[in-house]
């Protein structure tokens, strides 16, 4: 809007939303494990591009096929942005001008998740619950025919495919509880982050002659951001050993937690250029900028991944109080326009960056969880003759001697006569999270750039400094 001959004003407001979620009763992703529990002499040849798996004396038989473990995940994401900004330009009599403005922005991000998982890896029901006709025999070789090794006659070439809905319905019927094979709309993890930013900027622009024509822009921007992170996360209550290398974290009722954070910055900027002649221009500038943390890094609430291993498990926790990275930027360049729409330029820039955000994992015992791995029963089985690496022997010993005691629940034996069931963690052996590598990102980048642009060519070269180790916001 042109308020006067010297003053222009502008008001802008908008609101936008984006969502993503499941579009089927199976959730956003689902999986059914199947097995026949037969095994012959097995070998693998890795000398070719396609590893050749050979299994002797173990023909496939549809009458032995059954569903084992399963998972039905339901993920939901929603992002919304509401923004209002008011800005203007004012021209002074000497040709200089003033740019100004204020803005308010609110960003809401939400992610929610639920998982219906059965850890029945030794068999969910019985092979008799599935007609032979539901298993469709297929050959592996036809899908990898262009890879060296796929034509090897020693390759175990057969496997079964199946119609997902048919087999899922059969498993649900056999279990007696159809909800075990459908996604849940009751989210057990629900994270919501709200970022509210308010800003104001002012910049003075002027052109003048000082031996040669020059232009100068000096200004600054002030910004304040408040972060509120609310998270509904499940409370871990224990760990069960459900398969040789399968440990699952057990969860109780979820609970909401709210964490907050805030930061404010003043960001100055100076831009200057001069025309040495009609073909040559020199530019220099200095400015400070910020880069916000990604929204997943500032969402609160500690979550543990449901699947763990013998040596521990993993989880994650964000930090709503994270500060943005801040960069001090220096630029200097010279440009020579040797023809219409063609020029050669030489530039130098230096960026000094603070507050890089890294990700690392620390060891700990969240929720004071205990694990059956290397616990008293585990060690007793080893003392009675099981090798520490023979998890089948250890589990068989525990189920034989402690069924119904000390958190041990024995299930049916599998087709090979090995015992199945769950072994719960008992007081005395703590669960831990394992360390993982962190990212290294350079905090100072200095580059020398040369470029030439014309009708037919463009070139650019740059050199950057080595990386350093950043701080870590996650536990």
pLDDT of residue 444: 36
DSSP secondary structure letter of residue 313 = B
pLDDT of residue 437: 29
Query: Where residue 462 falls among pLDDT bands split at 50, 70, 90?
Result: very low
% of residues, the chain, pLDDT over 70: 90
Does the pLDDT at position 93 exceed 90? no
pLDDT of residue 46: 96
Cα gap 182→116, rounded to integer Å: 7
Does the pLDDT at position 448 exceed 70? no
pLDDT of residue 2: 84
- Comparing 431 with 295, the larger pLDDT belongs to 295
Does the pLDDT at position 433 exceed 50? no
Cα gap 195→470, rounded to integer Å: 24
pLDDT of residue 319: 85
Does the pLDDT at position 445 exceed 50? no
- Reported as a single tens digit per residue, the pLDDT across 139-182 is 999 999 999 999 999 999 999 999 999 999 999 999 999 999 99
Query: Where residue 43 falls among pLDDT bands split at 50, 70, 90?
Result: very high
pLDDT of residue 115: 92
pLDDT of residue 442: 29
How many other CB atoms sit within 10 Å of the CB of residue 378? 23
How many other CB atoms sit within 10 Å of the CB of residue 416? 10
- Comparing 185 with 468, the larger pLDDT belongs to 185
Cα gap 376→405, rounded to integer Å: 13
pLDDT of residue 428: 63
- Reported as a single tens digit per residue, the pLDDT across 225-258 is 999 998 887 788 889 999 888 899 998 888 788 8
pLDDT of residue 427: 76
pLDDT of residue 314: 84
% of residues, the chain, pLDDT over 90: 60
- Reported as a single tens digit per residue, the pLDDT across 287-343 is 999 998 888 888 877 778 888 888 888 887 788 888 999 999 999 999 999 998 899
Query: Where residue 423 falls among pLDDT bands split at 50, 70, 90?
Result: very high
Report yes or no: 28 and 72 within 8 Å, Cβ to Cβ: no
- Reported as a single tens digit per residue, the pLDDT across 341-363 is 899 999 999 999 988 877 777 77
pLDDT of residue 183: 95
Q: Which of 32, 66, 326 is nearest to 182 (CA)?
A: 32
pLDDT of residue 456: 36
Cα gap 250→424, rounded to integer Å: 10
pLDDT of residue 452: 38
Query: Where residue 48 falls among pLDDT bands split at 50, 70, 90?
Result: very high
**How large is the average pLDDT for residues 191-199?**
95
Range in 22-31, 47-56, 182-191, 295-304 the model is least confident about? 295-304
Number of C-alpha atoms within 13 angstroms, CB side, residue 463?
4
- Comparing 369 with 386, the larger pLDDT belongs to 386
Coarse DSSP helix, strand, coil percentages of the chain, rounded to the nearest 5 percent:
10, 50, 35
Cα gap 266→224, rounded to integer Å: 9
């Amino acid at each position: 809007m042109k308020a006067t001959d010297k003053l222009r004003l502008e008001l802008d407001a908008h609101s936008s939303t984006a969502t993503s979620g499941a579009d089927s009763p199976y959730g956003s992703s689902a999986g059914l494990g199947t097995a026949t529990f037969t095994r012959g002499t097995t070998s693998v040849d890795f000398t070719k591009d396609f590893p050749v798996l050979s299994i002797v004396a173990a023909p496939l038989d549809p009458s032995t096929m059954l569903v084992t473990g399963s998972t039905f995940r339901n993920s939901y994401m929603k992002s919304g942005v509401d923004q209002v900004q008011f800005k203007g330009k004012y021209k002074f009599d000497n040709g200089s001008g003033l740019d100004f403005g204020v803005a308010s922005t609110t960003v809401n991000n939400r992610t929610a998740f639920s998982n219906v998982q059965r850890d029945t890896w030794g068999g969910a029901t019985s092979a008799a619950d599935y007609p032979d006709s539901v298993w469709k025999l297929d050959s592996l070789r036809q899908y990898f025919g262009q890879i060296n090794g796929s034509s090897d006659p020693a390759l175990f070439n057969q496997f079964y495919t199946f119609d997902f809905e048919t087999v899922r319905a059969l498993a649900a019927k056999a279990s007696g509880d159809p909800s075990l094979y459908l996604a849940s709309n009751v989210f057990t993890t629900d994270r919501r982050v709200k970022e509210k930013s308010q800003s104001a900027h002012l910049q003075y622009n002027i052109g003048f002659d000082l031996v040669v024509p020059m232009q100068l822009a000096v200004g600054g921007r002030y910004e304040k951001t408040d972060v509120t992170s609310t998270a509904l996360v499940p409370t871990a209550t224990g760990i069960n050993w459900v398969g040789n290398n399968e440990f699952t974290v057990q969860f109780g009722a979820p609970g909401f937690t709210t964490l907050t954070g805030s930061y404010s910055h003043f960001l100055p900027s100076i831009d200057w250029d001069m025309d040495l002649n009609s073909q040559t221009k020199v530019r220099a500038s200095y400015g400070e900028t910020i880069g916000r943390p990604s929204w997943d890094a500032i969402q609160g609430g500690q979550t543990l991944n449901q699947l763990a291993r013998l040596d521990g498990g993993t989880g994650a926790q964000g930090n709503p109080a994270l500060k943005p990275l801040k960069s001090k930027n220096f630029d200097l360049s010279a440009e020579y326009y040797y023809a219409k729409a063609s020029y050669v330029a030489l530039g130098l820039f230096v960026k000094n960056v603070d507050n890089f955000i890294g990700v690392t994992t620390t060891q700990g015992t969240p929720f004071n969880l205990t694990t059956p791995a290397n616990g008293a029963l585990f060690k007793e089985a080893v003392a009675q003759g099981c090798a520490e690496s023979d998890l089948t022997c250890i589990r068989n010993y525990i189920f034989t001697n402690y069924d119904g005691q000390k958190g041990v629940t024995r299930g049916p034996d599998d087709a090979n006569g090995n015992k199945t069931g769950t072994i719960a963690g008992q007081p005395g052996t703590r669960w831990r999270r394992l360390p993982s590598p962190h990212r290294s990102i350079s905090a100072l980048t200095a580059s020398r750039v040369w470029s030439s642009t014309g009708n037919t060519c463009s070139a650019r070269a740059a050199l950057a400094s080595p990386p350093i180790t950043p701080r870590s916001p996650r536990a």
